[in-house]
């Protein structure tokens, strides 16, 4: 259902880069990318996945997965683990640990602590492990400063460096409103996927544009070589289609 | 090469990067030092989350001091010909993520005063500074730096150098960057005039040169115009304009004799005047 999309993004392989950042511009929705990546990771046998739900609760990801052709509940508690911040807050209210800062920890520090615990418990049993953070701008909405978000991402990048076959995938909404945070998070990894709206306006057959930037590993001392690829995408009811720029146009 | 301009006697070097090259900062500076044969005298701070521990900053200073004393005790070591180490700090954005501006300035000052530190390199990318007072902090770093390299575009850079005696120079260079080489060529005014004749006719100051308030260069047309202009004081000193132009007439009656010949005009000196009887 989303193979071509992941192929275009270079995320279809078993071994992913250590840190991948998805920048989502205002007025576009890049949630389909998270759902596609999640489905691809779940299909790999013995690959562990940790989903940190900040934008939607877990049920949303289950529903989206069903549309894309996979049942995440089968993997839940086995290869899939979930930190469902929104459901915790809805269930426990102000007594939730995300809102009352126990032990003097901030929201981001608490999150790092929980991610580390999950990693220690599950990583040794898995051939590879993927941490999906959806999404960072919700942390800002929940009261974390931009500096704390940057520290949170640095912590995650350190985890990715310290563990082989560990991939951290972050997403930041409204990247055009938080450009500095976006730049600081993107520089932690070698792959950045920008979800952009069409400059020319709204078009029935295309929802937006993906700009995939990949820094080559053999980057030089004085300049870094990047590959840039642009594809257009259309999110349908049960799949995501991609087109090359110019492939689709207005038919008169 | 750029390294010839950067690796000098100036101790604090600030590199302001406007091209979003933050991720290669360490490699960039290390390469500059390696080109000048100082690749082995480098000390760096741990990056990432390790920056939250103040002890790491103190450890670097102590490490420089200990290593320098070891060098002195080992006279066969070729490094002893040069004192101290080159310290490459993490990028300013990473430093500000964990430490306060006051701490950073204090630490920069400590490094500057340390005799075991030969040079300090700090990389700052304005596109990554998300501190609310980032502009002031960057200006503070510029104030402390003795050499400020500003990577403006892919092909131009500027270099502000402050000498210990107080002299300040601001030069602009054209650069040619490849993966492994960074060649620079000074921008000369003459070269500018010949290479871009369209830009020479503009009357507005060159805003791409941040170090100058006024446009002080003159292009060819302006020099010609200046030389052709006669200033007011030069006009008054011209004698030709005060002359009477007389055209002789046929009826003119010129008297050849002196009309005052019959007057007894006697020129006398001051001493003669004392003995005049009518006085």
Q: How many domains does chain A have?
A: 1
Specify if A143 maps to a domain. yes
The CA radius of gyration of chain B, in Å to the nearest whole number, is 36
Q: How far is B73 from chain A (nearest CA, A)?
A: 34
CB A209 within 8 A of CB A197: yes
The pLDDT of residue A100? 79
Alpha-carbon distance of A87 to A93, in angstroms, equals 10
The CA radius of gyration of chain A, in Å to the nearest whole number, is 18
Domains identified in chain B and CATH numbers? 2-71+81-186 (3.40.50.300)
The pLDDT of residue B266? 62
Percent of chain A with pLDDT over 70: 96
Residues of chain B with C-beta less than 8 angstroms from the C-beta of A221: 24, 27-28, 30-31, 179-180
Residues of chain B with C-beta less than 8 angstroms from the C-beta of A222: 24, 28, 31, 177-182
Sequence-distant (≥ 6) Cβ neighbours of residue A122 within 8 angstroms: A48, A50, A81, A129
pLDDT in tens, B120-147: 999 999 989 988 899 999 999 999 999 9
DSSP 8-state assignment for residue A238 = S
Q: In this structure, what CATH number is given to the domain that contains residue A89?
A: 3.40.50.300
**Average pLDDT value over all residues in chain B:** 78
Specify if A26 maps to a domain. yes
CB B145 within 8 A of CB B122: yes
Specify if A251 maps to a domain. no
The pLDDT of residue A150? 92
Specify if A44 maps to a domain. yes
A215–B49 CB contact, under 8 Å: no
pLDDT in tens, B36-94: 888 788 888 888 888 888 888 888 888 888 877 776 666 555 544 567 888 999 999 99
Window from A45-49, A214-218, B3-7 with minimum mean pLDDT = A214-218
ipTM of the complex: 0.85
pLDDT band at B204 (very low <50, low <70, confident <90, very high): very low
Specify if A250 maps to a domain. no
Q: What token pair was written down for B140? A: 């503070």
pLDDT band at B272 (very low <50, low <70, confident <90, very high): low
Specify if A102 maps to a domain. yes
Answer yes or no: is pLDDT of B164 > 70.
Answer: yes
- Give the nearest chain A residue to B179 (CA atoms): A220
Pick the more confident residue, A134 or B260.
Answer: A134
Residue A252: how many CB atoms within 10 A of its CB? Answer: 3
The parent domain of residue A46 ranges over 3-243
Specify if A252 maps to a domain. no
B23–A223 CB contact, under 8 Å: no
Residue among B20, B21, B24, B100 with most chain A CBs within 10 A, to mutate:
B24
- Could you write out the three-class secondary structure of A118-174? HHHHHHHHCCEEEEEEECHHHHHHCCCCHHHHHHHHHHHHHHHHHCCCEEEEEEECC
* Residue A125 forms contact with B (CB below 8 Å): no
- Give the nearest chain B residue to A146 (CA atoms): B130
Q: In what side-by-side order are the strands of the sheet with A19-24?
A: A80-84, A47-53, A128-134, A166-172, A19-24, A191-196, A208-215, A226-235, A240-243
Specify if A51 maps to a domain. yes
Handedness of CA B196, B200, B204, B206 (dihedral sign): positive
């Amino acid at each position: 259902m989303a193979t071509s999309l992941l192929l275009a993004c270079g995320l279809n392989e078993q071994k992913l880069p250590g840190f991948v950042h998805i920048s989502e511009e205002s007025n576009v929705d890049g949630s389909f990318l998270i759902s596609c990546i999640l489905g691809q990771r779940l299909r790999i046998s013995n690959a562990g996945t940790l989903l940190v739900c900040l934008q939607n609760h877990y049920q949303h990801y289950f529903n989206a997965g069903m549309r894309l052709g996979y049942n995440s509940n089968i993997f839940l508690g086995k290869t899939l683990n979930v930190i469902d911040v929104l459901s915790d807050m809805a269930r426990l209210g102000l007594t939730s640990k995300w809102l009352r800062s126990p032990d003097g920890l901030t929201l981001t520090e608490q999150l790092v602590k929980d991610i580390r615990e999950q990693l220690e418990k599950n990583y040794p049993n898995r051939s590879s492990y993927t941490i999906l953070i959806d999404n960072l701008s919700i942390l800002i909405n929940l009261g974390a400063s931009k500096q704390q978000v940057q520290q949170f991402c640095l912590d995650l990048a350190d985890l990715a460096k310290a563990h082989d076959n560990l991939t951290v995938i972050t997403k930041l909404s409204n990247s055009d409103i938080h450009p500095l945070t976006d730049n600081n998070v993107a520089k932690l990894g070698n792959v950045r996927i920008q979800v952009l709206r069409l400059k020319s306006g709204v078009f029935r057959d295309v929802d937006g544009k993906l700009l995939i930037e990949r820094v080559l590993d053999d980057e030089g001392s004085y300049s870094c070589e990047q590959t840039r690829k642009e594809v257009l995408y259309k999110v349908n009811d049960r799949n995501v289609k991609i087109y090359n720029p110019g492939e689709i146009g207005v038919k008169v | 090469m750029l390294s010839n301009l950067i690796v000098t006697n100036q101790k604090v070097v600030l590199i302001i990067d406007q091209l979003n090259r933050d991720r290669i900062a360490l490699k960039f500076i290390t390469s500059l030092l390696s080109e000048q044969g100082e690749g082995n005298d480098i000390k760096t701070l741990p990056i990432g989350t390790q920056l939250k521990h103040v002890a790491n900053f103190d450890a670097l200073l102590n490490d420089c001091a200990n290593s320098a004393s070891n060098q002195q005790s080992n006279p066969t070591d070729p490094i002893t010909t040069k004192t101290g180490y080159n310290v490459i700090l993490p990028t300013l954005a990473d430093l500000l993520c964990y430490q306060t501006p006051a701490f950073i300035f204090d630490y920069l000052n400590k490094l500057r005063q340390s005799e075991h530190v030969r040079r300090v390199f700090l990389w700052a990318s304005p596109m990554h500074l998300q501190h609310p007072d980032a502009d002031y902090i960057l200006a503070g770093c510029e104030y402390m730096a003795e050499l400020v390299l500003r990577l403006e575009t892919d092909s131009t850079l500027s270099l502000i150098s402050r000498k210990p005696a107080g002299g300040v120079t601001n030069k602009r260079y054209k650069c040619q960057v490849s993966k492994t080489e960074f060649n620079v060529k000074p921008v000369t005014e003459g070269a500018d005039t010949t290479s871009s004749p369209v830009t020479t006719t503009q009357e507005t100051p060159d805003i791409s040169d941040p170090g100058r308030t006024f446009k002080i260069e003159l292009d060819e047309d302006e020099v010609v115009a200046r030389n052709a202009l006669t200033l007011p004081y030069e006009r008054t000193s011209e004698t030709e304009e005060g002359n009477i132009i007389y055209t002789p007439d046929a009826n003119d009656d010129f008297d050849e004799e002196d009309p005052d010949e019959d007057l007894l005009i006697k020129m006398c000196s001051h001493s003669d005047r004392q003995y005049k009887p009518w006085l």
